[in-house]
Amino acid sequence: MHIDGLGYLSNIREINTATGSFLSCTINALHGSTEKPEYTRFDVTVSGKQTSSLIRRCQNAVNEEKKVLIGFKLSNLTADVFTLTKGDHAGESRASLKARLIKISFIKVGQNMVYKAEKPESADSTY
């Protein structure tokens, strides 16, 4: 299953493990009406050299708390349950959606389009 959407990028980080390292980030995907949008949070592992390079290009803007909006494609969606350990809601369970970020179709920092993927030629145009 693949999920296409758009959302705000945050929490870009390099995760180091005993077997290597990988790039991870959070996407708060937009859905619902434009007047009162809703958000769904995805904790994603970045997959592929081009996608990793594009996410790394966003690191400074995210660190400066600028709004970074991306068009994305996710795969391998899984749900996980965790328990809050701090704050007023400590002890409560929450769901976490995890996926692999496999493609970025555009990146906007503020109002500026900083990346737009080229559209592949459709199969029909080759005939």
Q: Cα separation of 25 and 36, whole Å?
A: 25
Tracing tokens 């949070």 back to the chain, one arrives at: 41
Q: Are 77 and 45 within 8 A, CB to CB?
A: no
φ and ψ at residue 86, rounded to 5 degrees: -135, 160
User: How does pLDDT run along the chain (127 residues), one tens digit per residue?
Assistant: 899 999 999 999 999 999 999 999 999 999 999 999 999 999 999 999 999 999 999 999 999 999 999 999 999 999 988 888 888 988 988 888 999 999 999 999 999 999 999 887 665 545 4
Q: Cα separation of 64 and 70, whole Å?
A: 17
Could you state, in order of their start, the residue ranges of all structural domains in the chain? Answer: 2-106
Q: Beta strand pairing status for 2-17 and 20-31?
A: antiparallel
The span from the first CA to the last CA of the chain, in angstroms, equals 29
> What fold does the segment set 2-106 form as a domain?
OB fold (Dihydrolipoamide Acetyltransferase, E2P) (2.40.50)
